[in-house]
Amino acid sequence: MKIAVLMYHAIPRRREDLENADPRYAVDADVFHRHLRQAAARGLAVRSVRDLLAEAAGGGQGAVGLTFDDGHESNFSQAFPLLQDLGATADFFVNPAVVGGKGFVTWAALREMADHGMSIQSHGYTHRYFDDLARDEVRRELYESKAMLEDRLGRPVNLFAPPGGRITPEVMRIAWELGYEAVCTSRPGCWNGRGGRREIPRLAVLATTTGQAVDAWMTGRIAAVAVQAARYRLARWAKRALGNRRYDAVRSSLLRLAGRPGSAG
Ligand SMILES: [Zn+2]
């Protein structure tokens, strides 16, 4: 079984609504709605990774995984109603430190989403890059985000998506120790649908991503996924060569040269 897991960020109705969100990662609500209709036209169920993991034993219908990072306010005001109309579910990876802040979802919104079948999961406590942190800070980020989300929402938190996609084998080990069951990364690829302490690759849908690319990814066309993987490896090489701070500083000029966003998460 091959499942494309899509990664979105903000879903603005209008570009003016992009408070505290990177416009390069924002997909307009109309465009997102079109992607959902494309999935329906292909006969694919749109499901959270949490639900796909629970259903994995049953197999069955073709599906596409749907995830959102950062907990932008538009995830609640725009994406959530569209998902409900379709009977679809998604994982929302949020940072408890900014929930309720300007431009972000509130705790009341997260509770309502969780009550209607949405999966609310950890994107770390803050949005610091984990490969810049000492081991005890990584542990605190993973532990406190899980504990606070479980406490406030009354539901288990078993999935983690690393901020900026930065992940190391050590971070994965700490995640397993703390009871996470899978890590949804920003490495492009298709998921085999299996759970059990593993990395689940995702495909980042960005402002520049075309409807054709989304269709190719959803239907598992390998060449399209391979192109994304090659772009990702190039960006990762640049991050390693430059370090996170310098990478972020020169990123905008790299983007102008490449004409493409380099990473997401
Ligand atoms: Zn993020």
Q: Is the pLDDT of residue 246 over 80?
A: no
Helix (H) or strand (E) holding 112: helix 107-115
Q: What is the pLDDT of residue 87?
A: 94
Distance 71 CA to ligand 1 centre (A): 9
pLDDT, tens digit (0-9, with 9 covering 90-100), for 51-83: 999 986 545 579 999 999 999 999 999 999 999
**Residue 77, in any domain of the structure:** yes
Which residues does 67 contact at the CB level (< 8 Å), separation at least 6?
A: 5, 6, 7, 8, 48, 49, 90, 91, 92, 93, 161, 184, 202
Q: Is the pLDDT of residue 117 over 70?
A: yes
Number of domains in the chain: 1
**Domain hosting residue 14, numbered range:** 5-229
**Residue 251, in any domain of the structure:** no
**Residue 265, in any domain of the structure:** no
Q: What CATH number does residue 144 fall under?
A: 3.20.20.370
**Residue 105, in any domain of the structure:** yes
Q: Is the pLDDT of residue 224 over 80?
A: no
**Residue 243, in any domain of the structure:** no
Distance 264 CA to ligand 1 centre (A): 7
- Evaluated on CA atoms 141, 144, 147, 149, the torsion sign reads negative
**Residue 252, in any domain of the structure:** no
**Residue 220, in any domain of the structure:** yes
Q: Mean pLDDT across the stretch 127-134?
A: 92
Q: Is the pLDDT of residue 165 over 80?
A: yes
**Residue 246, in any domain of the structure:** no
Q: Is the pLDDT of residue 251 over 70?
A: no
Distance 72 CA to ligand 1 centre (A): 10
Q: Is the pLDDT of residue 96 over 70?
A: yes
Q: Mean pLDDT across the stretch 147-175?
A: 96
Helix (H) or strand (E) holding 183: strand 182-184
